[in-house]
Amino acid sequence: MNKCSTVYWFRQDLRLVDNAALTHALEMEDLILPLYIYETGTSRPWGATSKWWLHHSLKSLKNDLGSLCLKRGNPVQILTDLVENTGVKHMVWAKRYDPFGQQTDAQVKAHLTTLGVTCHEMPSGLLHEPGETLNQSGKPFQVFTPYWRACRSRLNLKAPLARPDNLTLSLPPSDRLEDWKLLPSKPDWAESFHHMWKPGEIGAQERLNQFINHGLKGYGTRRNIPSDSGTSGLSPHLHWGEMSPRYIFHAIQNACLHNPDLSSDAEVFLSELGWREFSYDCLARFPELKDKSLRLAFEQFPWQENSSHLEAWQCGKTGYPIVDAGMRQLWKMGWMHNRVRMIVASFLTKHLLIPWQKGEQWFWDTLVDADEASNAMGWQWVAGCGVDAAPYFRIFNPVLQGEKFDPQGHYVRQWIPELKGLPDAYIHQPWKAPPMILGASGITLGKNYPHPIVDHATCRDRALQAYKQMNDS
Ligand SMILES: Cc1cc2nc3c(=O)[nH]c(=O)nc-3n(C[C@H](O)[C@H](O)[C@H](O)COP(=O)(O)OP(=O)(O)OC[C@H]3O[C@@H](n4cnc5c(N)ncnc54)[C@H](O)[C@@H]3O)c2cc1C
């Protein structure tokens, strides 16, 4: 092994293109040691679906690099061993923004400094550093629209960096990725994921090209239709840092230069990237975002624990087709359309009165894009207890939401094949279908599709009552 004094520590920046920290490391030294640590003892281990993605993303990165040193354990210990065994003098990494990761990085830095190692940390993964965008009184924005307007007006991003071409790597003994057992087996519930996803930088580039060529036009309206593949599907690639938001931003702007008709859809799309930024801004201010309601009054909310309702929701067996279709899409794809995420989250927190944290935890375990900032923000937004949240009393009616966003029931039929034969008029409320129609469609409620587990009108009243009780207390 060649002697190497610089380690590049990959974390949620599993890419070579537009990776400022990696480029910085290569400017310091031609020969670097590329490292990924599967961290144990973290406050929140990766969910099962995230592990699936991580396995494939690391495999892809290793392929692209030629080699990658893999280690599993406590980063302070692993890096100390590396320094002692290889004489490393510099550590370079891209900043991460989750509270536990930041705490770990501070510990690593403090410890390595005592060993004479210099640590270089570079911003990465966001368009703005959290906390940088302030209102005219110098305070953080509480509302998204003015926040994004302020960010957008001063967005002047440098061109993305090319893939470094001078990669020479040093490699100490590495773990075998397979030995980490990140993939499910017996049963392999992720079998269908391969048809939908290609983790890694090449997969991210293909998604982006596909979106620019076929999804961007009309995105502003198509993004609300769950049966339409009208959104980018870039969320897991962004989460794992397989593509930078700056790279996406430039690609979208270039597409608009060639075709100015795309501009208004492009602005809507960029504002969605803005929500991601806003979520990280909130996480920086409220490190307990995933655990605690930002509106403190919600600490008094009369939530109810009901394990059979929670299980029906998780399994897609609530009897409300749009909710069940979303939860089944999640099982099959490890992903769910944004509109349906809002509907299922509203159903859990308002119809079932189950604490939003239970939903956040389920999504953490099952989404390929599970992200501490965006997930907690999404849940708090729907539950009505977050920053710039939807008011609690706005309770989605799952039948009307289905009729509005899936009028012909394409989405429901795709994910709940047992309802395939139902006419459009009943696809979002099978319990209203006359027995003859149910029979002709091959449906026996309670046998091959559930009766609704709760009644919408009763739940709506109960939720409003609970909200009143909270406000009165
Ligand atoms: C209850 C709930 C939980 C959610 N959990 C997550 C999560 O764990 N991880 C996650 O990335 N997103 C989460 N979202 C936001 C959103 O649903 C997904 O980002 C989006 O569906 C991803 O699909 P896409 O890449 O096709 O999005 P596109 O419509 O193509 O949007 C482009 C990108 O913008 C970002 N984005 C879009 N909408 C939002 C949003 N509302 N908040 C933050 N960023 C957004 C994503 O990075 C996305 O890839 C959640 C939303 C809700 C309501």
Contacts for 144-148: CB closer than 8 Å, 24+ residues apart? 144/274, 144/275, 144/278, 144/388, 147/274, 147/278, 147/281, 148/271, 148/274, 148/277, 148/278
How far is ligand 1, taken at its centre, from the CA of residue 461, in Å? 30
The string of pLDDT tens digits covering residues 185-197 is: 989 999 999 999 9
Task: Specify the residue with its C-alpha closest to ligand 1, atom 36.
Answer: 272
Does ligand 1 lie within 6 Å of residue 363's CB atom? Answer: yes
379 given a catalytic annotation: yes
The string of pLDDT tens digits covering residues 255-271 is: 999 999 999 999 999 99
pLDDT (mean) for 84-95? 94
How far is ligand 1, taken at its centre, from the CA of residue 235, in Å? 6
Q: How does the average pLDDT of the chain come out, rounded?
A: 95
Q: What is the 3-state secondary structure (H, E, C) of 136-162?
A: CCCCECCCHHHHHHHHHHCCCCCCCCC
Amino acid at position 72, single letter: R
How far is ligand 1, taken at its centre, from the CA of residue 280, in Å? 13
User: Which are the contacts of 285, defined by CB distance < 8 A and separation ≥ 6?
Assistant: 130, 131, 140
Strand partners, 208: none
Q: Which of 356, 362, 364, 381 is catalytic?
A: 356
The string of pLDDT tens digits covering residues 308-335 is: 999 999 999 999 999 999 999 999 999 9
Residue 392 is predicted with a pLDDT of 84
Does ligand 1 lie within 6 Å of residue 369's CB atom? Answer: yes
Structural domains in the chain, sorted by start: 6-124 (3.40.50.620), 125-159+201-285 (1.25.40.80), 296-472 (1.10.579.10)
* Percent of the chain surpassing pLDDT 70: 99
Round to whole Å and give the CA distance between 352 and 459: 7
Round to whole Å and give the CA distance between 413 and 428: 10
- Distance of alpha carbon 427 from the chain centroid: 30
Does ligand 1 lie within 6 Å of residue 235's CB atom? Answer: yes
Amino acid at position 436, single letter: M
pLDDT band with cut points at 50, 70 and 90 for residue 155? confident
pLDDT band with cut points at 50, 70 and 90 for residue 446? very high
- The phi, psi pair for 70, rounded to 5°, reads -110, 130
Task: Specify the residue with its C-alpha closest to ligand 1, atom 24.
Answer: 233
Q: Where are the alpha helices (DSSP H) in 286-426?
A: 307-315, 321-333, 338-346, 356-366, 372-383, 398-405, 410-415
Considering only CA atoms, which of 188, 461, 441, 467 is closest in space to residue 332?
188
Evaluate whether 391 touches 382 at the Cβ level (below 8 Å): no
pLDDT band with cut points at 50, 70 and 90 for residue 30? confident
CB atoms inside a 10 Å sphere around CB 336: 25
Task: Specify the residue with its C-alpha closest to ligand 1, atom 4.
Answer: 375
Does ligand 1 lie within 6 Å of residue 345's CB atom? Answer: yes
How far is ligand 1, taken at its centre, from the CA of residue 231, in Å? 10
How far is ligand 1, taken at its centre, from the CA of residue 203, in Å? 18
CA distances from 371 to 17, 103, 235, 347, 424 (A): 22, 17, 9, 21, 36
Does ligand 1 lie within 6 Å of residue 279's CB atom? Answer: yes
pLDDT band with cut points at 50, 70 and 90 for residue 2? low
pLDDT band with cut points at 50, 70 and 90 for residue 473? confident
Residue 208 is predicted with a pLDDT of 98
pLDDT (mean) for 402-409? 98
Structure tokens at 32: 């670097």
Residue 458 is predicted with a pLDDT of 98
pLDDT (mean) for 249-259? 97
CA distances from 131 to 31, 82, 339, 372 (A): 35, 34, 28, 17
Task: Specify the residue with its C-alpha closest to ligand 1, atom 12.
Answer: 374
Residue 60 is predicted with a pLDDT of 98
